Structures are given as C-alpha cells and as structure tokens.
C-alpha cells in the first residue's frame, strides 16, 4: 500500500503551517482550470525529466484529478528515485473541492 492522505488531513496540515510541497501531475489545461493554491505543475509525462524539482527533504503531496495518476507518480518516484517523503492525495483535486474548498471547480 502506497502512502496517502485525505483532503481533510492535507488541509489540516497546511493550516497548521507545515511546509509541504504540493506537486500536481495533471495536464496544463486541467491545472489552469483548477488547482490547490501553492501547488506546482509537473505533468505526469514530464516527471521523469523533472524529478529533481521534488524536494527530498520535505513532505511532498502528489495531486491529480481523482488520485490515480498521482499514485502512479508516487510509485515511480519511490522506485526510480528512492524518494521516501511522498504522499498521494486520496481522491485528488475532486476530493479537495468536495471536502475542503468548494470554490475550487469540480470537473
């Protein structure tokens, strides 16, 4: 089982001031439509060449639409780059919109 957290858990950690890197692995047009404030876009297809942008020294949450692509990204980064600081956002940006911030559009 790969490590993950809920939208509510992520919100609580961000509200407490925890320094978390947010990496969104969706496509640019999805990211342009809606995103979690402070997240950085690294589309899944670019992850192999941009993996060095992920900070190995702070918690990093991977985000996509429903949590599937971000789980793939997490598995890849753990296996190929031996990163141990990663969490998948369970339910993705959709869960964030529904459970935490209704101002973030659902699609």
Domain boundaries, the chain: 4-100
Residue 11 has what pLDDT?
98
Q: What is the pLDDT of residues 67-98, one digit of tens each?
A: 999 999 999 999 999 999 999 999 999 999 99
| pLDDT at position 42 | 98
Please tell me the distance from the alpha carbon of residue 62 to that of residue 82, in angstroms, as a whole number.
15
SS3 6: coil
Q: Which residues of the chain have pLDDT under 70?
A: none
CATH 3.40.250.10 correct for 4-100: yes
Q: Please state the pTM of the whole predicted model.
A: 0.96
d(CA 16, CA 30): 28
């Amino acid at each position: 089982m790969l490590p993950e957290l809920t939208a509510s858990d992520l919100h609580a950690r961000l509200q407490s001031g925890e320094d978390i890197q947010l990496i969104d692995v969706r496509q640019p047009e999805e990211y342009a439509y809606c995103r979690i404030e402070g997240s950085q876009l690294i589309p899944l297809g670019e992850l192999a060449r941009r993996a060095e942008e992920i900070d190995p020294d702070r918690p990093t949450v991977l985000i996509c639409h429903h949590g599937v692509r971000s789980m793939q990204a997490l598995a890849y980064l753990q296996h190929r780059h031996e990163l141990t600081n990663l969490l998948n956002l369970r339910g993705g940006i959709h869960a964030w919109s529904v459970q935490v911030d209704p101002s973030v559009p659902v699609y």
